[in-house]
Amino acid sequence: MRGGTSKGAMFLASDLPADPAARDDLLLRIMGTPDPRQIDGLGGAHPLTSKVAVISPSPDPDADVDYLFLQLGVDEAFVTDRQNCGNILAAVGPFAVERGLVEAGPDRTRVRIRMLNTGSLATASFATPGGEVDYDGDLAIDGVPGTAGAITLDFEGTAGSTAGALFPTGSVLDEVDGIEVTCVDNGMPTVLLRATDLGIAGDESPAELEADDAVAARVERIRIAAARQMGLGDVTGASIPKMVILSAPRRGGALTTRSFIPKRVHSSIGVLGALSVAAGALVEGSVARDLVAAPSPGDPFVVEHPTGHFDVDVALEGSGSGATVTRSAALRTARLIFDGVVFPRPRP
Ligand code: NQM
């Protein structure tokens, strides 16, 4: 399924081995990892298309289904549950209906999703006329051609869900490797930094940024150091925290962003990444203070990214590192692309 601006393989937990090592070995062979082209599997040769969701009925009375997100490497043989994915999340509600885990309503269906990677909750709501998921609609999201049916995602408990606090260093502004950063976790541990502090404009294309070895090395150095301050330990080889480079908005939004996730540069921005950017930029005194064009209360926070913009609805209460998140929501679309039997590559 496509979920937002990502694409992944969706599985019922009951169809996979219960043992995580056996499950991960199978998933690597299904997706064609390790191989830069993932030529012998379902993966699309980019981290954004090398994703898996594992879904099961939830034992939690607050949720209908459990969603475990797994990020697979492309050319490196790893499977990690250390990060969540809010784009693939958009496909979880429709998948739960398709597989009969949730009964669809006659017009719309709400699916409460426990996100096992972080323990936080999301409620997805989407059209199900006649009790069937309607993927069609008129919502365009940048990074995906055409339009599709809107899926609303409302989040609860995202603040600090991986790093323990919304501002995990205890401050909204820190200095790392000689430059100011803001470390924030509103569902995705994220380090915000200013493009000018890296000597770049901030609206470079993902390909230009990936080709700039000096910037990539500096960003990685800052990531490793900032992660320690965030209590994440040694993140060498880990896919969190994400690094988001900020500059002033170019097209009427709140900020321009370029996200290192963390090696490749995102062609748009993650959902939880964007919720974290908004929280970090809305708090007074963060690294975004002289860049952000903050929206009026009630208006969406418009995150500009390489292929357009992503509007999120984030509200904070309180100030400084004691601020709390009172609302986190976003609109996405998803699509069922293929339903069938996959034949994993045999073990070597
Ligand atoms: O932040 C990519 C994506 C993501 C994550 C990544 C995501 C999110 O866009 O919620 O969706 O940052 O690895 O798929």
Sequential pLDDT tens for the chain (348 residues): 999 999 999 999 999 999 999 999 999 999 999 999 999 999 999 999 999 999 999 999 999 999 999 999 999 999 999 999 999 999 999 999 999 999 999 999 999 999 999 999 999 999 999 999 999 999 999 999 999 999 999 999 999 999 999 999 999 999 999 999 999 999 999 999 999 999 999 999 999 999 999 999 999 999 999 999 999 999 999 999 999 999 999 999 999 999 999 999 999 999 999 999 999 999 999 999 999 999 998 899 999 999 999 999 999 999 999 999 999 999 999 999 999 999 999 998
Q: Indicate which residue's Cα is closest to atom 4 of ligand 1.
A: 270
Q: Indicate which residue's Cα is closest to atom 9 of ligand 1.
A: 270
Residue 15 is given by DSSP the state: G
Task: Sort strands 334-335 and 242-247 into parallel, antiparallel or unpaired.
Answer: unpaired
Tell me how far the alpha carbon of residue 5 lies from the centroid of ligand 1, in angstroms: 9
Residue among 258, 271, 276, 307 to mutate when testing ligand 1 (max atoms within 8 A of CB) = 271
Q: What pLDDT was estimated at residue 33?
A: 98
**Identity of the residue numbered 11:** F
Tell me how far the alpha carbon of residue 271 lies from the centroid of ligand 1, in angstroms: 6
Tell me how far the alpha carbon of residue 72 lies from the centroid of ligand 1, in angstroms: 13
d(CA 46, CA 75): 9
d(CA 150, CA 309): 16
Q: Answer whether 233's CB lies under 8 Å from 217's CB.
A: no
Q: What pLDDT was estimated at residue 56?
A: 98
Q: What pLDDT was estimated at residue 348?
A: 80
